[in-house]
Chain A
């Protein structure tokens, strides 16, 4: 699975958009970009995923560059409850790996009042 690079930490003001970048320059054609977050020591929570196109759901938007070498997770109106560690994970969801997720250190997002 391709390696990802994320900033160690980011701050965001409550109510503003949080834009979390991720580099995955070695991504291959059949690998998806997944975003999860972990609040305290709770189980990782699925946010969104995409292959090539930009995606949006009720939680967030995912912008993937045309060359697929990087992506940005956007939380449009961050709240204090969005303070968490955010993980960008690239993996072959349909391949022989059976979907093993490899977590990095992630980005610690702190939303402040």
Chain B
């Protein structure tokens, strides 16, 4: 069964450093998403991406965050200057089209120290 692949599975970074979280969505999917989950809290929407542009973003997704689909397969989330409160599991997801379900990746655990 097709999967959404995320790398790395765990990343530790120092506060103030830039991090890039990588995702390979399912190949024929058109909608791409990033969500995050702080330990013990709900899964929160960050951003959706369609047709090579951001279609919707949450209040969490401020100027420190950016997304990119640099080629036909990768979808990345960049955090420009990490803060302690950015520590969380980050999930990438994709879906084929309207009316279809999401497939989530297994996540990247980001720890900011």
Q: Check B24 for interface membership: any CB of A closer than 8 A.
A: no
Interface string of B79-113 (1 = CB under 8 A from A): 00000000001010101001111111111010000
Q: Which residue of A is nearest B50, CB measured?
A: A98
Closest beta carbon of chain B to A58's beta carbon, Å: 12
Q: Which residues of A contact B (CB under 8 A)?
A: 32, 34, 36, 38, 41-46, 49, 87, 93-94, 97-105
Residues in B whose Cβ lies below 8 Å from that of A100: 33, 45, 48, 56
12 A-B contacts, Cβ less than 8 Å apart? A41-B89, A41-B107, A44-B43, A44-B93, A46-B102, A46-B103, A93-B98, A93-B99, A94-B99, A98-B31, A98-B56, A105-B42
On whether the beta carbons of B107 and A43 are closer than 8 Å, the reply is: yes
Residues in B whose Cβ lies below 8 Å from that of A42: 106-107
Per the bound structure, the CA–CA distance linking A92 and B103 in Å amounts to: 17
- Of the four ranges (under 10, 10 to 19, 20 to 34, 35 or more), the interface on chain B belongs to 20 to 34
Q: Give the secondary structure class of A's interface.
A: loop
Per the bound structure, the CA–CA distance linking A42 and B35 in Å amounts to: 12
On whether the beta carbons of B99 and A43 are closer than 8 Å, the reply is: no
On whether the beta carbons of B98 and A99 are closer than 8 Å, the reply is: yes
Given contacts A43-B106, A97-B56, A102-B45, 20 further A-B pairs with CB under 8 A are A36-B102, A41-B89, A41-B107, A42-B106, A42-B107, A43-B4, A44-B93, A45-B104, A46-B101, A87-B43, A93-B99, A94-B98, A94-B99, A98-B48, A98-B56, A99-B31, A100-B33, A101-B35, A103-B44, A105-B42
